[in-house]
Structure 1
Amino acid sequence: VCLRGISMAAKKIVLMLSFPRDEVGNQLLTEDQLDEAGIDPYSKVMSLEEYRELFGENKHPFTGVDYLAYYGEVIEAAGAEVEIVLANHATEILNYTDKVINCDIHTRKRTRRILKDAGATVLGMDEILNAPVDGSGFNSKYGLLGSNKSTEDSVKLFPESCEDVVLGIQKSILDKTGKCVEVLVYGDGAFKDPVGKIWELADPVVSPAYTPGLEGTPNELKLKYLADNDFKELSGEELREAISARIKEKDDNLVGKMETEGTTPRRLTDLIGSLCDLTSGSGDKGTPVVHIQGYFDNYTN
């Protein structure tokens, strides 16, 4: 929908894509195909015609879509001429145009800086609909980033100002039950599929809003490390008691300590949001409430 809307406003679109995969891992080619063709993706620039001559049609292994053909069809159906280029250096686009919409997500600030330094006029997807237009929806921080197709002509934007929602849910549950429940709003999880190689996070962040208790990172000991090193002479109940005591005595900040090596060095919101996304999916389950219990328990509980 976004590509069609942009194309409707232009006479010609030069669509430049990275290869062999896009930013979140959707593949146009495999690394093996590049190796067999003797192509260095960091220096090579390919036209669509050269790509077809070398590699033919390549459909996505899960969706069955040839994305180069699909994107071209979307642009042409909107009334614009299309030229597709494959390259991995942002400045390559300046050989075709100096007016650029950079559509990457997690590398957008660097891409924008590089292009502006090279003299381009650049607009990011996060700068489109970051304020209302004639009463439209908007996302002040992310614009069109994180949007999803709603109808053939409209998108649903990434959540805006949902801090009051999570705090309101937390307060409502506390008032009714006396229990303090942490709450977050989540979108895409941050994990990589080992088969399709897709890195799921196509949203700008995993969680746009969460209650204060979810701030920070895990502060955990690696039990296998303790069992195999500090307490390698112990077993059974003695080992369990020794590990339990170490957990109870651990520092509030274990950063840099060897006994934490191998634990998950990620933010709590990214971990919990990914768990929620894996549970709910994005298809016909709808948009459920995911209730997680025991997440902050440890071996001593």
Structure 2
Amino acid sequence: MNRKIVYRKANYKNSYEKEEIKRLYSEIFDIDISDKYDLWFKTNAYGEPLGILAIDEEANKVVGHFATSMFLANINSKLINFRMSMGFMTDVAYRGNGIALNLYKRLKEEIILEGKAKFIIGFPNDVSVNMHLKKMEYSLYREFNFVKIPFLKCTSKFKHIELNEIKETDIGNKTCNAIVHNKEYLLWRFKGTQYIKCISSDNKLFVYTKFRNKIDLLYWDQNVVEKDILELAGFLYENEKVNSVETWNSAEFLDRYPKGERKYHMCINYLNLDSDMRNRIDKNWLFYMGDCELF
């Protein structure tokens, strides 16, 4: 295909670009993001989204899109901004013309020019992970699997709460790197009736979603231990009447439970960081399913 493709920063408030991005998601991933667009592509607690569009001007259509959202992480007890990649796609009819790689190069330039984010984290799927590693300067950090939490009789008490009842919960775990899960983040991230919030009798917060006979556990406070997870799972099996309570193997104890076959690849692009900062980032991460369930 010999068509002129132009690349420019996305303006997520622009109605034309909004409709084109929604169309791409529908055509490529067969999903309607109308109810998610504002959450994904508006300013969050830590900054504005930054993305690049590939546009076939002659056809007046967006044919590629690569976006990132700003996050704040606790890295070795220091607060550092990073970007999480999302919405990386190329129109099927335009693939094989270098558009995806050009999107990445332009996006990297804009992130470095902006000067706020120190690195990028991405979760490419099985199809695109090789391109991220071989052509886009990402490094594979680790892989996640879904794990099924077993049923044990619940002896603890839990109660459901509303979003506005969430309190400041992030205790600043010093033993690993993590996104800062403060109240501001939680209110932004888990806004919506699909996110069910509950607390234990000792005020530990959990967030999950339910679809048919399955529950996905998206978040729990950093002071939660294995016993708390098992107690919650028992509560959910008994009260939600589901066949499965699942989450990512984010914590070491979760590796003991049955794993699904599908893998989620956590990759890091260090941009222009020196080796000392890379080593800090490579320290063990606590990364919840809910941290990237959006993307």
TM-score category (smaller protein): under 0.3
TM-score when normalising by structure 1: 0.26
Greater RCO between the two (CA within 8 Å, min separation 6)?
Answer: 2
Q: Which has the larger radius of gyration?
A: 1
* Greater strand fraction, Structure 1 or Structure 2: 2
